[in-house]
């Protein structure tokens, strides 16, 4: 739990792929007997990418904006093999 301001609860979850955060909120509301839903859901990290590395998408529309400092070196990326069916 990060913050509680009635009737809102702010929390952070560290989870693996396939976790349904909306379902967790729903079940929490059921356990408390009051119902619950997500008003906002923000992904802070996905794999090796984090929100700290993001740029405002509106900057891409700015004339002369240089995106190159924000691009990762393709040689430094680790690709995971995809399962074959």
In a domain, 80, yes or no: no
Residue 37, CA distances (Å) to 10, 22, 28 in order:
12, 7, 9
Instruction: Specify if 28 maps to a domain.
Output: yes
For residue 12, pLDDT over 90 is answered with yes
Residue 35 lies in domain: 3-70
Residue 71 to residues 8, 28, 65, Cα–Cα distance (Å): 37, 39, 13
At residue 74, does pLDDT exceed 90?
A: no
Residue 65 lies in a domain: yes
Q: Is residue 77 part of a domain?
A: no
Taking the complete model, does pTM exceed 0.75, yes or no?
no
Count how many domains the chain has. Answer: 1
Strand partners, 14: none
Q: Is residue 23 part of a domain?
A: yes
Torsion 26-21-42-66 (CA) sign: negative
Q: Which residues contact residue 51 at a Cβ distance below 8 angstroms, ignoring those fewer than 6 apart? A: 42, 43, 44, 45
pLDDT in the model for residue 70: 80
């Amino acid at each position: 739990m990060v913050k509680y301001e009635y009737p809102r609860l702010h929390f952070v979850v560290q989870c693996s792929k396939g976790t349904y955060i909306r379902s967790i909120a729903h079940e929490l509301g059921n356990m408390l007997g009051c119902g619950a839903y997500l008003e906002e859901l923000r992904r802070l990290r996905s794999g090796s990418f984090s929100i700290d590395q993001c740029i405002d998408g509106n900057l891409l529309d700015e004339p002369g904006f240089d995106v190159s400092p924000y691009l990762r070196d393709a040689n430094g990326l680790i690709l995971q093999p995809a399962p074959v069916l």
